[in-house]
Every structure is written in structure tokens, then in C-alpha cells.
Amino acid sequence: MEFLTDKPQTLYDPFLLPDMPEAADEILSAVEDGLSICIYGDYDADGVTATSLMMDVLRTLGADCSYYIPSRFDDGYGLNDQAIDKIKAAGADMIITVDCGCTSAEEVRHARDIGLEIIVTDHHAMGEAVPDCLLIDPQRSDSRYPFRYLAGVGVAFKLAQALCREAGMEKRHRTSRRREQNARQIRTEGHQRPGTSGSERPYRRDRPQPRPHNLGKYLIRHNPSHQRRRPTLKRHARRPSHADERPEARSRTRLPDARGKR
């Protein structure tokens, strides 16, 4: 269960992966220079989670970043020239691939020809044609990483680990900085109703969202069907006991005597 702790001690060094030091330096330099970085992901679960992880880390570092997840039907798997042209037209300066790219030598060449810097992170087996760029892949023959079967999101995690180490960011600092960014975004943009555009009026919750520990109080406060009924006088009235049903109990009332006294 070591991997569930907030301070794991058994993680391998990310710089054992090939091209990791050069990739971390190039990405941090791009962040400092204000370059626009696009994360090129994949449409499966591995690619989507890897894209989300890289976006979170780069935003924490203060990068100008975006992402592109290709369509399974229109773009297919991996890099393609049309998607690269779209990313370039959108103003990106660098592409970081996650879960794809190790066999896209022609597409990498096209990206570099149109002026894009590109870094490939992948976990698939290498092909005959190796892309001419920084390539982080545990399947490479020159990799010194002990475990070769990382998932795509695992390789992205190792890159995120290297970036945070090179930037000198501890876990506590990363968490507090992310909270500040989220609070700043909420103050500037507000809560938007799901399914609406940012130009519409910000959506504000009328009621606080229930948490697991106070769900019962929330239901009692906001749901009439769960509200407790207030006790009434009728409910507090003394119910007749079994002793009252006995004949001797009913005959305890004294009748007036001849003088009119009870």
C-alpha cells in the first residue's frame, strides 16, 4: 500500500528514463518564457487520465497550456498532420504527447517543419523509425528504468514528478498553490451552470452542497419530507394505562354522601 501514501518512499527515480532530464529542462524553460504548450492525448482511459494529469501539473507550474484529444473516428490513433496543423493555427508553440507518438516519425518531422517543438512520452513498443525528438519511453533499449511496463499515465506521472523536482516544489506547496489558483478562478469566473457558455450569467448555488458527514442535517433542513414533526399536545397527552381499564380503577371515584360531601 506504499503507493497510496502522500510521501511514498519506494518510487523509482524518474531521471532513469531516457531523455527525462532534457525534457524537464525544455518544458520548464518554455513555462518561464511564456510559450503556449499543448498536451496531445488519446481517446482511451489511459490517454485521457494522462492528459488530465499533465494539465494539472502544468497549470500548477503557471504554464499557458491546452490539450487536444483526437477523435477515434476522424483523427484515429496517434499524431496526424491535420491535428498538428490545427494546434499550430491555435497558437501553440510546443506539443507534449502522452500515450502516443513513439511510432509517429513522419508526423514529428512535420511538426518540427512548421515550427513546433515536440516532446513525446509513450509506453508502447518502439518501431523501426524512431522520431527525431526527445522521446520518453520505458520500452526504449537504452532505458535504465527498472520497470518497463508503465502505462501511458504512468509515464506522464514520472514526467510530472521530474518537473516538480526540478522546479523545487514540495507536495505541500503544490497543494496550496493549486488551491489559490482554483480560488482565483472562482472569484474571476464564478460558478457556471453545467452546459452553458462562459458568456452567460455565472451560476451560483442557492443551497450548500451536502457533504457525507452532514447529509442527514441537509435533508432535514431542505427537504420537507425529511423534516421532523414537532411534538403536539395530543402526542404529549397521557395515554391510558392498563390499570385504567380495570373495573376497580374506574370505581375509585367517591360518590357524594347524604351531606353532599365526597
Instruction: Give residue limits of the domains in the chain.
Output: 11-167
* Cβ atoms 143, 150 nearer than 8 A: no
Quote the CA–CA distance of 87 and 70 in Å, as a whole number.
11
Question: What is the per-residue pLDDT for 159?
Answer: 96
- The CATH code belonging to domain 11-167 is 3.90.1640.30
Name the grid cell of 130. 524512431
Question: What is the per-residue pLDDT for 248?
Answer: 53
Question: What is the per-residue pLDDT for 22?
Answer: 96
User: Tell me, what amino acid is at 198?
Assistant: G
Q: What is the dihedral of CA 121, 160, 158, 144, to 10 degrees?
A: 80
Strand, coil or helix: 170 = coil
Neighbours of 201 (CB within 10 A): 9
Helix (H) or strand (E) holding 159: helix 152-167
Measure Cα distances from 27 to 61, 84, 155, 173, 199 in Å.
Answer: 10, 19, 15, 20, 33
**For each successive 10 residues of the chain (262 residues), what is the average pLDDT?**
64 93 96 95 94 95 94 85 94 96 94 96 90 95 93 95 87 55 54 39 42 49 51 52 52 54 55
- Bridge-based pairing state of the strands 117-121 and 64-68: unpaired
- β strands within 35-84, DSSP E: 36-40, 64-68
Q: Which of 31, 76, 21, 70 is nearest to 48 (CA)?
A: 70
* Cβ atoms 10, 1 nearer than 8 A: no
| Residues making up the chain, counted from first to last | 262
Question: What is the per-residue pLDDT for 51?
Answer: 96
